[in-house]
Amino acid sequence: MEHPQPSTLSDLLHSPRPLTASVSLPFLSTPPPPPSHHSTDHRILTTLNRPTVIVGTLTLPTHTTPSSSHFPCSCFKFSDGSATVCCDILSFRLAAIGKQIRITAWNFIPFKHPGDRGSRTGFLEIIKWCFSDPNESNLADIFQFTPSFPGTNCNKGGKNFRAVHGVVKSVGPISIVPCATPASGVYDLNSSSKVNLLGFLVQLLCCECRLCGSRELVNNLRNGSFEIENVNGHSFTKMEILYFCGNASSFHPVMTKLIGSRVVVSGLKKKLVCLTKEESCLMYLTLDETVLRVCPRLEKLTLCLKSEIKGKGECGSYTGVIRGVYMKGMALELDNDVWFLLTDQLHTMIHGLRVGSIISMRNVHFVDPKFSWTKVVILGACVKTSIVLESFSPLETVCNVVLQSTSMLGKFIQSLPFSTRLW
Ligand SMILES: [Zn+2]
Ligand SMILES: [Zn+2]
Ligand SMILES: [Zn+2]
């Protein structure tokens, strides 16, 4: 058998066309999907004519101070020393962040950087991977937002820290919130001394049992009486809101991957956040000391992937194949006469929304527009909607990298009877 040759990202960026490759030839383990009448005009991705691996490091996006020239995607990044590109990864593990990984099956879709005319970049779809150091696959899925350095006082305010144990239900888009400086005690969104803070909201269905009360859990994690491996005795009943703000906003792709997973987040602060002059909401805010733990993969709670569709604006999940991408990525045609309408710019920046991809949409609204001439279902995205790529497209189709979204569709969508924005 031919020995796999390493490929570098800079080589791939010079490739004139999208590629697919794997460590073994001639074929990827996933055969191309059966041809349908929609996909006949798309060719299958060109397979690199030699077995290959890519070795590099998976990292989180860095959201610098928001500016108009900022490329507003929220993808995982992958660097191999020759270049850094946006990527998405199947079989994600928290332990892989910051680690060197070997990618043994991938697609690479080059595109022009929308914020920087002419410069070439691309999207790496990681299909199969492993840790470069096989021992690292046994690492616990735990991540501390800011690694504590010896000598820093990480117990500062420690007794007020809270922890929560729950199942990730929804992840909102990243938004820029003009906010008072955290030093002032309460986050007042209407304060005159405003800073622009990036952040996103996560809904967590939490356990409130004897072990998991938000004050007790901190101690129970410390003294070992709480074991994340053990799910027995917990019941997830109380919806809590976590606000990942500041540096923690780079966790957006991670939390999106974790929808439906059981997590423990510690090192949080409970705060009253003023939304408007009259309205405020008690939520948990991330701090520099925040630690995220993910329960072992084996018991990922099975979500109902196809909700019963009534078409009255109810919220649910749906999985389908993308058949067409229209209106700069804001309208996706799925199989079975289902249309998915996206309003948020962050959603339209998910590069992997290519024709042929299988996506699963969490927390979408089902709307039956009751057209007299045809039967279609519209899935409407809202601020709680998340899109997860279940399988990358084997077709040579373009990435979704529109920088500016038009407001036309947004207006149309607002005229539809979706539930009102909650957040
Ligand atoms: Zn990106
Ligand atoms: Zn519990
Ligand atoms: Zn909604």
CA geometry: angle 69, 73, 74, nearest 5 deg: 135
Task: For residue range 307-331, list pLDDT tens digits in order.
Answer: 577 888 888 999 999 999 988 888 9
* Ligand 1 center from residue 122 Cα (angstroms): 9
Give residues with Cβ within 8 angstroms of 354, minimum separation 6: 109, 322, 325, 392, 393, 395, 397, 398, 399, 400
Dihedral angle of Cα 217, 218, 221, 223, to the nearest 10 degrees: -110
**Which ligand ends up closest to the CA of 365?**
3
Residue of 313 and 179 predicted with greater confidence: 313
3-class DSSP assignment, residue 34:
coil
Q: What is the pLDDT of residue 420?
A: 34
Give backbone dihedrals phi and psi of 121, rounded to 5 degrees, phi first.
-140, -165
The CA distance from 347 to 339, in Å, is: 15
Q: What is the pLDDT of residue 131?
A: 97
Q: What is the pLDDT of residue 24?
A: 76
Give the pairing of strands 358-367 and 377-380: antiparallel
Q: What is the pLDDT of residue 58?
A: 97
Q: What is the pLDDT of residue 26?
A: 53
Token couple for 131: 């840790």
* Ligand 3 center from residue 413 Cα (angstroms): 13
Percentage of the chain beyond pLDDT 70 is 74
Q: What is the pLDDT of residue 277?
A: 67
Asked if the model's pLDDT at residue 291 lies above 70, the reply is yes
The whole-chain average pLDDT of the chain stands at 80
Token couple for 360: 């699963």
Which residues sit opposite 231 in a β-bridge? none
Task: For residue range 91-123, list pLDDT tens digits in order.
Answer: 999 999 999 999 999 999 998 876 666 688 899
**Which ligand ends up closest to the CA of 115?**
1
Q: What is the pLDDT of residue 205?
A: 95
- Residue 91 Ramachandran class (φ > 0 left, ψ -120 to 50 alpha, else beta): left
* E strand residue ranges, 30-182: 46-47, 52-59, 76-79, 84-89, 100-112, 120-131, 142-144, 162-171, 175-180
Measured CA distances, 99 to 23, 56, 91, 128, 135 (Å): 20, 8, 15, 15, 12
* Ligand 1 center from residue 355 Cα (angstroms): 17
* Ligand 3 center from residue 312 Cα (angstroms): 12
Residue of 78 and 49 predicted with greater confidence: 78
Residue of 142 and 348 predicted with greater confidence: 142
How far from chain centre, in Å, is Cα 291?
Answer: 18
Radius of gyration of the chain (CA): 22
Percentage of the chain beyond pLDDT 90 is 42
* Ligand 2 center from residue 328 Cα (angstroms): 45
Task: For residue range 197-248, list pLDDT tens digits in order.
Answer: 778 899 999 999 999 987 889 999 988 889 888 888 899 999 999 999 888 8
Task: For residue range 258-268, list pLDDT tens digits in order.
Answer: 998 999 999 99
- The shares of helix, strand and coil residues in the chain, as percent rounded to the nearest 5, are 15, 40, 45
Asked if the model's pLDDT at residue 165 lies above 90, the reply is yes
Asked if the model's pLDDT at residue 300 lies above 80, the reply is no
Residue 196 neighbours by CB distance under 10 Å:
11
* Ligand 1 center from residue 201 Cα (angstroms): 20
Element (H, E) at 390: strand 386-391
Asked if the model's pLDDT at residue 157 lies above 60, the reply is no
Contact 265, 292 (CB under 8 A): yes
* Ligand 1 center from residue 8 Cα (angstroms): 19
Measured CA distances, 396 to 40, 126, 357 (Å): 11, 16, 11
The CA distance from 193 to 345, in Å, is: 27
Asked if the model's pLDDT at residue 146 lies above 80, the reply is no
Q: What is the pLDDT of residue 34?
A: 52
**Which ligand ends up closest to the CA of 264?**
2
Q: What is the pLDDT of residue 256?
A: 93
Q: In terms of Cα–Cα distance, which of 166, 170, 173 is closest to 315?
A: 170
In order of start, what are the domains of the chain with their CATH numbers? 5-138 (no CATH), 142-295 (2.40.50.140), 312-414 (2.40.50.140)
- pLDDT-derived band at 304 (thresholds 50, 70, 90) equals very low
Q: What is the pLDDT of residue 196?
A: 66
Give backbone dihedrals phi and psi of 193, rounded to 5 degrees, phi first.
-90, 85
**Which ligand ends up closest to the CA of 419?**
3
* Ligand 3 center from residue 282 Cα (angstroms): 20
| Max intra-chain CA distance, the chain | 70
Place of tokens 């809101």: 241
Mean pLDDT on 245-257: 91
The CA distance from 15 to 22, in Å, is: 16
Mean pLDDT on 377-394: 91
Give residues with Cβ within 8 angstroms of 127, minimum separation 6: 22, 28, 30, 90, 105, 106, 107, 392
Asked if the model's pLDDT at residue 128 lies above 80, the reply is yes
Asked if the model's pLDDT at residue 293 lies above 70, the reply is yes
Give residues with Cβ within 8 angstroms of 352, minimum separation 6: 88, 123, 125, 389, 392, 393, 399, 400
Residue of 365 and 38 predicted with greater confidence: 365
**Which ligand ends up closest to the CA of 353?**
1
Most confident among 133-142, 170-179, 308-317 (mean pLDDT):
133-142
* Ligand 3 center from residue 64 Cα (angstroms): 28
ipTM of this predicted complex?
0.92
- pLDDT-derived band at 83 (thresholds 50, 70, 90) equals very high
Q: In terms of Cα–Cα distance, which of 191, 289, 275, 195 is closest to 241?
A: 275
The CA distance from 255 to 94, in Å, is: 10
Q: What is the pLDDT of residue 124?
A: 97
Contact 270, 161 (CB under 8 A): no
Q: Is 237 exposed, middle or buried (0-12, 13-18, 19+ CB in 10 A)?
A: exposed
* Ligand 3 center from residue 128 Cα (angstroms): 33
